[in-house]
Copies of this chain bind each other. A is one copy, B any other.
Amino acid sequence: MSEKQTVPSSVKDTRLIQIRREQMIKGAISLFKEKGFHRTTTREIAKASGFSIGTLYEYIRTKEDILYLVCDQIYDEVQEKIKRALHFRHVTKETIKEGIAAYFKIMDELQDEVLVMYQEIKSLPREMLPVVLKKELEMVAVFEDLLRRYFDQKGSVVSDEQIRLYAHNIIVQGQMWGFRRWALRKHYTLEKYTEWQFHLLINGIDQISK
Chain A: residues with CB nearer than 8 A to chain B? 36, 38, 119, 122-123, 133, 136-137, 140, 161-162, 164-166, 168-169, 172-173, 176, 180, 182-184, 187-188, 192-193, 196-197, 199-201, 203-208
- On chain B, the residues within 8 Å of A136 by CB distance are 183
- The answer to whether B205 and A200 touch across the interface, beta carbons within 8 angstroms, is yes
Main secondary structure of the interface of A (DSSP, over half): helix
Contacts of A182 in B (CB 8 A): 133
**Within the assembled complex, what's the spacing in Å between the Cα atoms of A205 and B197?**
11
Q: Do A168 and B183 have beta carbons less than 8 Å apart?
A: yes
Nearest CB in chain B: distance from A20 CB, A: 19
A108 CB, min distance to chain B CBs, angstroms = 16
Q: Is the CB of A123 within 8 A of B36?
A: yes
User: Can you tell how many copies of this chain the complex includes?
Assistant: 4
Contacts of A193 in B (CB 8 A): 165
A187 x B164 contact (CB < 8 A): yes
In this complex, which of A136, A165, A205 has the most chain B Cβ atoms within 10 angstroms of its Cβ?
Answer: A165
Bound-state CA distance A2–B207 (Å) is: 47
Contact B169 A200 (CB under 8 A): yes
Cβ B199 vs Cβ A208 within 8 A: yes
Measured CB to CB, the closest approach of chain B to A127, in angstroms, equals 15
Cβ-defined partner of A200 (8 Å) among B137, B172, B180, B208: B208
Closest to A130 in B: B182
Which partner residue on chain B sits nearest A116 by CB separation? B122
From the candidates B122, B172, B184, name the one contacting A36 in the complex (CB within 8 A).
Answer: B122
A193 nearest in chain B by CB position: B165
List the 9 closest A-B pairs by CB distance, nearest first.
A204-B204, A203-B207, A200-B204, A38-B38, A203-B204, A172-B176, A161-B187, A165-B196, A119-B122
Given contacts A165-B197, A166-B200, 4 further A-B contacts (CB under 8 A): A136-B183, A165-B200, A172-B176, A203-B203
Within the complex, the shortest CB–CB distance from A208 to chain B, in Å, comes to 6
Nearest-neighbour CB distance to chain B for A182, whole angstroms, equals 6
